Amino acid sequence: MCGIVGYIGKRDAYPIILNGLKRLEYRGYDSAGIALFDGNDIQLCKTKGKVANLEEKAEKEISLKGNLGIGHTRWATHGVPNDVNSHPHYSNSGDLVLIHNGIIENYGSLKKELIKRGYTFKSETDTEVLVNLIEDIQKNEDVKLGKAVQIALNQVVGAYAIALFDKKKPDEIVVAKLGSPLAIGVGDDEFFVASDASPFIEFTNNAIYLEDEEMAIIRLGRDVKVRKIKDDKLVAPYIQELQLNLEQIEKGGYEHFMLKEIFEQPSVIKDTYRGRLLADQGIVRLGGLEDHIEKFINADRIIIVACGTSWHAGLVAEYIFEDLVRIPVEVEYASEFRYRNPIISEKDVVIAISQSGETADTLAAIKLAKSKGAFVYGVCNVVGSTISRETHSGTYTHAGPEIGVASTKAFTTQITVLAMMALRLAKAKGTISKPDYMLYLRELELIPTHVEEALKTDSKIEEISAVFKDARNFLYLGRGYNFPVALEGALKLKEISYIHAEGYPAAEMKHGPIALIDEQMPVVVIAIKSDHYDKVVSNIQEIKARKGKIIAVVSKGDTVVREMADYVMEVPHTPEALTPLVTTIPLQLLSYHIAVMLGRNVDQPRNLAKSVTVE
Ligand code: G6P
């Protein structure tokens, strides 16, 4: 959480940093700050609130000059969001200024030591402790800034991506990484630092992604020097050429990123299977999987670890894998898995699913599984992310940058990858008949067209949203493959509209939630044509008998549920295993419209962050 940006070069640093912070606001947005070196002194401005508040304040209060600067957008961990706790933080002398994404776990004991040595603290943050620790080492050990940072970080327990500079050496920025992402954009005698590449994409396509426990000294007129923090070894930096472009990270005429991302799904699902799925030739081929097929099909079980929406994609995968590949699957919240002493063996295969590839709990679960000898496969969206590097192999979804905090296109592209994996493995294991295999391949290829059709019901869904926007609770019900979709629908509504919603397996309703049903309660039921259709129809009757309001997701042409439901949202027909790819679309739109009608900040809902790099 938190976004960091830095610049050193010939251009004005202020607009680059400010724009960069706006692009990184998905990482946290409760306060923001900037520090610029104007040639004489550091100009620092910080404030509670969004980057737009910072912009207003900075333009009034500080000189915006300078070719060196750092900026931060915060998701609070230590200390409430207020002006004082916002980053950057000064050292006591006022010479050093630092930004930090992460948590210093032993900051309490370090702070006590520093207080004994006469240091004072203005904020409640762990970051202010770190900048003073660096200053203390710089003074006592008479070492240069880079060395002081290295010594300090060897005393720190926790996670960080940091950037700092010293006003006595304004040709240099020092950065370091452990557990939080950090990219360095390499231009023509100018350098950029950021949590991801989006802040500098219009200036350079060349980026160095630091690995964990690496630091870099970025000095004008020199190459970037990367070293290992622990043993001081120099590392030859690998400069990657980025594929990202500016258009991908802009709204493209949509009112919100979330809406843009919902509507991008037909094209990104296609991007995800392009070159991998050749239905007419009966081929599904995933580069990362081909060499490991035996591992999967001989595995005792597959364990899927993930958080949030990615966990819901994992639940869908559980149904597909067990159904088609006949391997037992367990789906675990990464945060629970890592702390419950799980039984893992070398015969297990672990699949880690993560849009950002940076989620701290998922990463820790991967490390644990690897330490027990399991083979770990990643399904990530962000290329070069930590999880994609930590796993033994994997497949990227090709959803492109997802900026809206509520995940949409990441979910459907994850399911696309997982379905392709299942089909490839089922074929290899012989658990699927040739006609079924061919049918699934053809149907998967048709999904973008079906999603497009589902998106055409947008205005109808907007009307339904207007009817229910003031409801205080929602229930979402689904069975089989669509139980995880019910969970995901409820999560979307909670996240962005702040309406309480629960997802439930439809049959479980009578074991508790049915008590909640009255004429005030909207119940969203996924009632598409499937093996469970008749059972779901019975569940709808049970709700109706208690006067609940039914909003049903139905298959095109359905007449039975249409008669019973108060409102219907239609989706095209596809085999049951692929239905989550289409049934999720109306639920995304429903939550989007309700949130807009309630005046919520759809792309940046309160208290959330897109990339959760703390436990
Ligand atoms: C956060 C985001 C969710 C996301 C979850 C897992 O909570 O707000 O949208 O599903 O993290 O993130 P990941 O990047 O690992 O998929």
Tokens of 248: 């991908």
Ligand 1 midpoint to CA 355 (Å):
7
Assess if residue 610 is contained within a domain. Answer: no
Q: What is the pLDDT of residues 574-588, one digit of tens each?
A: 999 999 999 999 999
Q: Is residue 381 part of a domain?
A: yes
Ligand 1 atom at minimum distance from 406 CA: 9
Q: 308 C-alpha to center of ligand 1: Å?
A: 5
- Say which CATH number the domain at 406 has: 3.40.50.10490
357 and 447 assigned to the same domain: yes
475 and 522 Cβ atoms separated by less than 8 Å = yes
Ligand 1 atom 1, closest CA: 610
Asked whether residue 615 is domain-assigned, the answer is no
Q: How far is the CA of 615 from the centre of ligand 1 (A)?
A: 12
β-pair partners for 278: 283
Ligand 1 site, residue 397, Cβ cutoff 6 A? no
Minimal-distance CA residue to ligand 1 atom 7: 308
Lowest-pLDDT range of 406-415, 516-525, 569-578, 594-603: 516-525
Taking only the tens place, the pLDDT of each residue in 266-298 is: 999 999 999 999 999 999 999 999 999 999 999
Atom of ligand 1 nearest to the CA of 609: 8
For residues 409-421, average pLDDT: 98
Q: What is the pLDDT of residues 471-483, one digit of tens each?
A: 999 999 999 999 9
Q: Mean pLDDT for the chain?
A: 94
Residues 131-137: what's their mean pLDDT?
98
Average pLDDT of the segment spanning 238-243:
90
Give the residue, by CA position, lying nearest to ligand 1 atom 5: 308
Same domain? 170 vs 126 = yes
Q: Which residue has the tokens 């090709």?
A: 398
Q: Is the CB of 355 under 6 A from ligand 1?
A: yes
Please indicate whether residue 195, judged by its CB atom, sits closer than 6 Å to ligand 1.
Answer: no
Mean pLDDT of 169-191: 95
Q: In which domain, by residue range, is 125 found?
A: 3-246
Report which ligand 1 atom has the smallest distance to the Cα of 608: 8
Please report the atom of ligand 1 found closest to the CA of residue 405.
Answer: 8
Residue 560 pLDDT > 80: yes
Mean pLDDT value across residues 378-396? 92
Beta carbon of 613 within 6 Å of any ligand 1 atom: no
Same domain, 471 and 429: no
Please identify, by atom number, the ligand 1 atom nearest to the C-alpha of residue 356. 14
- Positions annotated as catalytic residues are 2, 610
**Is 347 contained in some domain?**
yes
pLDDT at res. 27: 82
Q: Which of 20-29, 221-230, 420-429, 580-589 has the lowest mean pLDDT?
A: 20-29
The domain boundary, picked from 226, 246, 266, lies at: 246
In a domain, 150, yes or no: yes
**Is the CB of 46 inside a 6 Å radius of any atom of ligand 1?**
no
609, pLDDT greater than 80: no
Residue 533 placed within a domain: yes
Amino acid at position 561, single letter: V
CA separation, residue 64 to residues 3, 11, 22, 36, 197 (Å): 20, 12, 17, 7, 23
Q: How many of the other CB atoms lie within 10 Å of CB of 26? A: 25
* R_g over Cα of the chain: 25
Do 14 and 33 share a domain, yes or no?
yes
User: What tokens does 369 get?
Assistant: 């599984």
Q: Tokens at residue 342, please?
A: 């799980």
- Taking CA atoms only, the protein residue closest to ligand 1 atom 4 is 308
Q: Which of 392, 422, 451 is the last residue of a domain?
A: 451
Q: What's the chain's length in residues?
A: 615
Residue 372 and residue 255 in one domain: yes
Residue 591 above 90 pLDDT? yes
Same domain, 165 and 53: yes
Residue 183: pLDDT band by 50, 70, 90 thresholds? very high
Those residues whose C-beta lies under 8 Å from the C-beta of residue 262, and which sit 6 or more positions away, are 408, 409, 455, 585, 588, 589, 592
Residue 612 lies in a domain: no
Segment among 110-114, 412-416, 530-534 with least mean pLDDT: 530-534
Does residue 482 have its Cβ closer than 6 Å to ligand 1? Answer: no
Q: Are residues 478 and 358 in the same domain?
A: no
Give per-residue pLDDT as tens, 149-167.
Answer: 999 999 999 889 999 999 9
For 269, phi and psi rounded to 5 degrees? -65, -40
pLDDT at 244 over 80: no
The residue among 451, 475, 504 that closes a domain is 451
Q: Of 182, 201, 198, 191, which is closest to residue 224 (Cα–Cα)?
A: 191
What is the signed CA dihedral for 66, 68, 73, 78, rounded to 10 degrees? -120
Residue 517 vs residues 469, 480, 499, 500: alpha-carbon distances, Å: 17, 22, 16, 14
Return the pLDDT at 5.
Answer: 98
CA distance 130 to 148: 11
Residue 72: give its domain's CATH number. 3.60.20.10
Query: In the chain, how many domains are there?
Result: 3
Q: pLDDT band for position 606 (50/70/90)?
A: confident
Give the alpha-carbon dihedral of 488, 491, 497, 498, to 10 degrees.
170
* Residue 613 is assigned to a structural domain of this protein: no
Same domain flag for 11 and 67:
yes
pLDDT at 1 exceeding the cut of 70: no
* 366 alpha carbon – ligand 1 mean position (Å): 16
Residues 284 and 179 in one domain: no
What is the rounded distance in angstroms from the CA atom of residue 160 to the CA atom of residue 177?
6
Q: Are residues 69 and 95 in the same domain?
A: yes
Same domain for 326 and 472, yes or no, is no
- Distance from Cα 574 to the centre of ligand 1, integer Å: 28
Same domain, 31 and 103: yes
Structure tokens at 376: 């770990």
Tell me the CA–centroid distance for residue 135 and ligand 1, in Å.
36
